[in-house]
Structure 1
Amino acid sequence: METELVLHKTAIFFEYDVKKQFQIVLVSIKESNQMAHMDRKMNRLALEKSPYLRHHALNPVDWYPWGEEAFEKARKEDKPIFLSIGYASCHWCHVMERESFEDLDVAEVLNRYFVSVKVDKEERPDVDHVHMSFCQAMTGDGGWPMTLILTPERKPFFAATYLPKETKGQHMGLLEVLARITALWQEEKERVLSSADFAVEAVLSVQKERKEGDLDDEIQKKAFASLISIYDEHQGGFFQAPKFPLTHHLFYLLWYYKTTGEEKALDMLEKSLMSMYKGGLFDHAGGGFYRYAVDERWLIPHFEKMLYDNALLSRLYLSAYAVTGRALYKKVSVRTLDFLLEHLKDGEGAFYASMDADSEGEEGKFYLFEKEELLSLLGEERGKEFARFYGVEEKGNFEGKNILNLYEKPLQDLLEEEPETIMESRKKVLMYREQRVQPAMDDKILSSWNGMVLETLSMAGRLLEEKRYTNAARDLFNFIEEKMTDEKGILHGVYREGLGETEAFLDGYVHVLHGLLALYENTLEKRYLSLGKKLGDQIIERFFNGKVFQLSGKYHETLSIPAEEIFDSATPSGNSEAVRAMARLYSFTGEERYLQVMEKVFMELSGEIIENPKGFSGILLSYDVWMHGPREIVLSGKREDPVFREMLKILQKTELTGITLAVHDPREKEESEKIFSFIRETENGAASVFFCKDHSCSLPVETVEELLESLMKF
């Protein structure tokens, strides 16, 4: 049978005479089984800083890091590139390593017929994003570990996610894939190269051919309706299983409720917040959230703990607390922040990337309990009380063991204070758990995710009047400024054992910028605003292409297609966060160029937003600033004035999504005017608050009572 390569749209499928293809590779293994007797030596990944890459340094696969050395070898030896992308806390990445990358047969095939490249997706989000675009186009799916085969010129022609070593039913195994592709490369290389060119052009055409449309205010109603269409009425959250928190959708619901008074938006938000907390997504013993739930009830998590999830979720619960006053949301936020400070914070103020899902080779082993184990630890009476409270069963609720949860608790019980005996037992359980073999830590420091934490800590310090959060935010920014910014003032993406080589990508710049603006709102130190403006100018200069923001900037490596992050996914897209940054800077400074950049992005994406508004909930938070101008609150007066201080206390406890807060002392007018475009003050310099829309302000409010009344209406 002739080997045939079939193209359908952007997908690539292979049809083969399986027996013929296996002979090519597997016979060669039998003829030369040298690797079975070789001493295991470290490959090139041993020289990398990434814990994920170093973890593969003892694989028999001759791995290369992403770089010119690997690409030159592929060109010189005329071999395809085997690209594997993953991250340190990824469970299925560990499974594929154990099954395949530590296997001598697989290593022999890869080393003989391919140039193998391993990428940490968190270290190189540009490489990950570009190849995820191909993977989704070719297969209709995506995830990690991600497996691609590229030409020596780095053009993909095969994509998949996790592959077992051997074929299982309809699930093709890695050895079979490699055998078939080796045969194709040897026998029909020109057709493979042609298909790779076609795939690149197909993905490029999606970027170039934006849908057209005219945005108007109806888009917010359409966006809300689109979220209703994917909302789980029974369990909260969106879609069925697996269920991700999708915080950008939930932030949108909170904003929509605040803006329109739509009670259904608040109901959707609160049911989601309650369900995520009640189930196993939240670590009820140690605090913090796992990455996602594999079931629709939020009961069974995927156990890795990511810095970005916990930064965003603690901020979400904190925002919900500020709007609703529910003490439960404050408790969840505080327990999440405390988890970050206690477990992911390094000794100098920055935060590590993640904790692994696995320990001792088993997913979730560190976090699970048997009922008898708890009874033995806590005693019969306290143990049974604890088991009832946290849904612990004799038979277990996950593979014979138990995930602590509050799934069966009625809402009223959740809103009440926990019994003292439960809190005491939980501390004892946590101390007991800490004696187990800990999950591995990915201790690299990412500017993007640390920027998220900076914004959250700054907001927590302001809303909760907690100096420890404010101090932690200051320490974190000092680390970013001193350790992650080079002598030329360029922000870098990664720090581990020194500064990483690669400049930060768009997500790094925008999240640090948002953190700086939040730090200003907390401390009122104008230095943070000035630094934020500087970052904003760098973002435009480095990442804006005249239409949208690109994930990789003008000084980054050129990939096979531009890395453009348009749609929100597990987190808000780079464009969503960059436009939010432009909106905030325009609101603070009044400089038209920030507005003009926003306008160009909205105009470029308008058709896409209209067609799929739920894919753009992040960017739609900034729509009103673009279309109707910013909303600003100006507090003016002498800082030592008791009325000023009381007004400031009220304003700093206000949830500020979509609102800019500026504080001005008339004695600092010259300094203020260098930054703010909308400074206002009374003739006598008395403490007063101005409510402004599109830089046009109301008459001053001069009493605390009037301020509280005006806030309700603004």
Structure 2
Amino acid sequence: MERESFENDEIAGILNREYVCVKVDREERPDVDSVYMSVCQAMNGQGGWPLTIIMTPDCRPFFSGTYFPPKARYGRMGLKELLTAVADQWKVKKERLLDNAEQIERHLRDKEQTSVWDEPGLTAVHRAFRQFEDSFDGKNGGFSGAPKFPTPHNLIFLMEYGAREKRPSALSMAEKTLVQMYRGGIFDHIGGGFSRYSTDNQWLVPHFEKMLYDNALLVMAYVKAYGRTGRNMYGWVAGKILEYVERELTDSQGGFYCGQDADSGGVEGKYYVFTPDEIMTVLGEDAGRDFCQQYGITLHGNFEGGSIPNLLQNENYEEICKEAWGGEGGSNTNGKREEYRRLYQYRLNRSRLHKDDKILVSWNGWMICACAKAGAVLREKRYVDMAVRAEAFISSHLVKDGRLMVRYRDGDAAGEGKLDDYACYILGLLELYQVTFRTDYLKRAAAWAEIMTGQFFDLKRGGFYLYAEDGEQLIVRTKETYDGAMPSGNSVAARVLHQLAQITGKLKWQEVLEKQLHYLAGAMDGYPSGHSYALLTMMDVLYPSKELVCTLPAVCGMETGRELLAQLAYLAGTMEGFSVVVKTEENAREMEQLAPYTRDYPVSEAGEQFYLCAGQECMQPVSRLEQVIQKLKEEDGEGE
């Protein structure tokens, strides 16, 4: 519409003469997008983007739609005709339009005030699995036809469900999808990272835009698969995503940018496409021919202007992944990596992508979680360092008067923090605690959670509003629960509350969590698979949990102490429903304030002590972590 209509002189003339035009960035103002998208869905039965709203001067909508061509065609009203007709009606039938606006507003308010509570139970969890099972594409992976979205939280749900229910088919669906996504063109085999979605059903031709949140959630899914299966390929893919993020989406001060556009030189996908001649010019004839054969780069191509590198027809994909991104060193592997580096540099010299260099708190929260998790499970400190730097960036640049902002760009922070900003940032802090066991992360997570519950939570009906109680008030305060491309703020808030309740043992977090889970259980009725991230928390509550308290003397600065903490972080990162708390001589007083129950766990001068509770049973304290791991294996049904 931007190119077709808003740059059209005739349509621009009507807009400037008859209307006050407002363009909304839905990343910076998700509250505005949510409210007026609910208008569109209420009026038309469905929503979508681009979203077109016509409203009164006091922001009360009376007309909504999505895409409009410049002029009427194929039975669809044209924007020119629409704008002219509405402007004429406003002049002669304003009262009717105002009445429409009043009815729409009343409908939205009534809808928001009629939330249904339900009892959280495993029925919804099992139904979600069956819904995924029924829609699974056994040939290509994924859960729909074209277009195909990665939706990593669905895969994480399946892996956790499979582990808890001893359902190999659930893990198999997730693995098939993860493998096929990597093999397809949706993964950038030259520079790393995943594109937004696939336009076909086999993951070959992507919409080439790369987004930070997609790649963060995909890191978490591949790391989860690595921890669950031990299959190196998953760890290598996660590492390649993070290498891409570090190289192309990281600010010099540590924050993460939003993403990169699909277009280069005005052509979508041009940046990513190669011809055989180009490959052989860069790599030489022999190496170039091998590369083209491996990655399906042919004379006739698979996309306009050439071929998108992919491994869909190559059954040797795992060995190629090892040579390109993993392996154990050696001259051959190093030579292969040099080939990718040369192709990457050639691609950069040929054309560049526009970068969306906004730094959003919510999306950074996801990438902090991803880096922390990857650092713990893959045992790579530099990933944890990425998370630490990004968190420091947020705390330094995106906090004003004790509240979170939405975005930062070119030295300017703006926007009142929304639910997603608070929930995702707090989750990042909690992930950092479970990796570093630094009490300041836990302390700040609890402090921000106090603000989140105080400003966003509906004490009467449950659920978190999208914007704060003292924020700019729109025509209605909405609550979002659907886990779409990203998990909803309400789903993330539930996970935050559960982790705080589990780690601190404080009743106040448990009480809010119970209301939140009842609210979510009602919201997901009929379509639980659309709430997969909320179901992760529900599973944590419904299945037996495991908690480990470790008491340490003052050895944390020693090599043995650091290795022990790394082992504890690995356990926390790979086990479902598992939390770890570390109490030392140095942090004892602060931990007893943050988690009062830790007063009952003395720090022994004799060395570390481990207290493991699983479900309703707690084992006697032991002095070696190996004893804890053995007990966990027995609990998990892995034998003696």
2:554, 2:613 → 1: CA distance?
21
Counterparts in 2 of 1:416 and 1:332: CA distance versus 1, 3 Å: closer
1:230, 1:375 → 2: CA distance?
42
How do 1:377-392 and structure 2 match up within 5 A?
A: 377-392=282-297
Alpha-carbon shift at residue 358 of structure 1 (Å): 1.2
2:241, 2:142 → 1: CA distance?
19
Aligned to 2:308: 403
Alpha-carbon shift at residue 306 of structure 1 (Å): 0.8
Tell me which moved more, 409-418 or 565-574.
409-418
Pick the aligned partner of 1:502 from 410, 415, 421: 415
Contact 1:638 1:644 survives alignment (8 Å):
no
Alpha-carbon shift at residue 415 of structure 1 (Å): 7.5
Tell me which moved more, 178-187 or 522-531.
178-187
What's the % identity of the aligned pairs? Answer: 38
Pick the aligned partner of 2:380 from 440, 463, 466: 466
1:270, 1:448 → 2: CA distance?
27
Alpha-carbon shift at residue 564 of structure 1 (Å): 1.3
Aligned to 1:651: 568
Aligned to 1:702: 623
2:427, 2:586 → 1: CA distance?
28
Which amino acid in the other structure matches residue 200 of structure 1? E
Aligned to 2:111: 206
Alpha-carbon shift at residue 569 of structure 1 (Å): 1.1
Contact 2:553 2:604 survives alignment (8 Å):
no
Pick the aligned partner of 1:425 from 335, 339, 358: 339
Aligned to 1:617: 532
Contact 1:647 1:707 survives alignment (8 Å):
no
Which amino acid in the other structure matches residue 476 of structure 1? A
How do 1:582-621 and structure 2 match up within 5 A?
A: 582-621=497-536
Contact 2:218 2:238 survives alignment (8 Å):
yes
Contact 1:636 1:685 survives alignment (8 Å):
no
1:675, 1:415 → 2: CA distance?
48
1:277, 1:141 → 2: CA distance?
32
Counterparts in 2 of 1:231 and 1:263: CA distance versus 1, 3 Å: same
Which amino acid in the other structure matches residue 516 of structure 1? L
Counterparts in 2 of 1:400 and 1:645: CA distance versus 1, 3 Å: closer
Contact 1:484 1:499 survives alignment (8 Å):
no
1:243, 1:361 → 2: CA distance?
24
Tell me which moved more, 460-469 or 570-579.
460-469
Aligned to 2:214: 309
1:398, 1:199 → 2: CA distance?
45
1:676 aligns with 2:607: no
Aligned to 1:152: 57
Q: Secondary structure at the match of 1:540?
A: helix
Alpha-carbon shift at residue 131 of structure 1 (Å): 1.5
User: TM-score, normalised to structure 2's length?
Assistant: 0.91
How big is each residue's C-alpha offset from its partner over 1:169-206, in whole Å with a ceiling of 9 and x where there is no partner?
Answer: 13333222222322332343322222222223333333
1:561, 1:608 → 2: CA distance?
18
Pick the aligned partner of 2:361 from 437, 440, 447: 447
Counterparts in 2 of 1:220 and 1:285: CA distance versus 1, 3 Å: same
2:535, 2:188 → 1: CA distance?
32
User: TM-score, normalised to structure 1's length?
Assistant: 0.82
Contact 2:161 2:167 survives alignment (8 Å):
yes
Contact 2:481 2:523 survives alignment (8 Å):
no
Alpha-carbon shift at residue 267 of structure 1 (Å): 0.3
Aligned to 2:475: 560
Which amino acid in the other structure matches residue 327 of structure 1? N
1:557, 1:355 → 2: CA distance?
30
Number of aligned residue pairs: give it.
Answer: 618
Contact 1:621 1:658 survives alignment (8 Å):
no
Aligned to 2:429: 516
Contact 1:307 1:353 survives alignment (8 Å):
yes
How big is each residue's C-alpha offset from its partner over 1:470-501, in whole Å with a ceiling of 9 and x where there is no partner?
Answer: 22222212111111112x22111111133433
Aligned to 1:532: 445
Tell me which moved more, 574-583 or 428-437.
428-437
Contact 2:361 2:406 survives alignment (8 Å):
yes
Aligned to 2:370: 456
2:517, 2:119 → 1: CA distance?
10
Structure of higher RCO (CA pairs closer than 8 Å, 6+ residues apart):
2
Alpha-carbon shift at residue 416 of structure 1 (Å): 6.4
Aligned to 1:579: 494
Counterparts in 2 of 1:143 and 1:284: CA distance versus 1, 3 Å: farther
Alpha-carbon shift at residue 398 of structure 1 (Å): 1.4
For structure 1, the 5+ residue unaligned runs are: 1-95
2:541, 2:379 → 1: CA distance?
32
How do 1:89-488 and structure 2 match up within 5 A?
A: 96-211=1-116, 213-410=118-315, 413-414=318-319, 417-418=322-323, 420=333, 422-486=336-400, 488=401
Which amino acid in the other structure matches residue 517 of structure 1? L
Aligned to 2:329: none
For structure 2, the 5+ residue unaligned runs are: 324-331
1:433, 1:496 → 2: CA distance?
27
Which amino acid in the other structure matches residue 206 of structure 2? P
1:182, 1:703 → 2: CA distance?
77
Counterparts in 2 of 1:124 and 1:231: CA distance versus 1, 3 Å: same
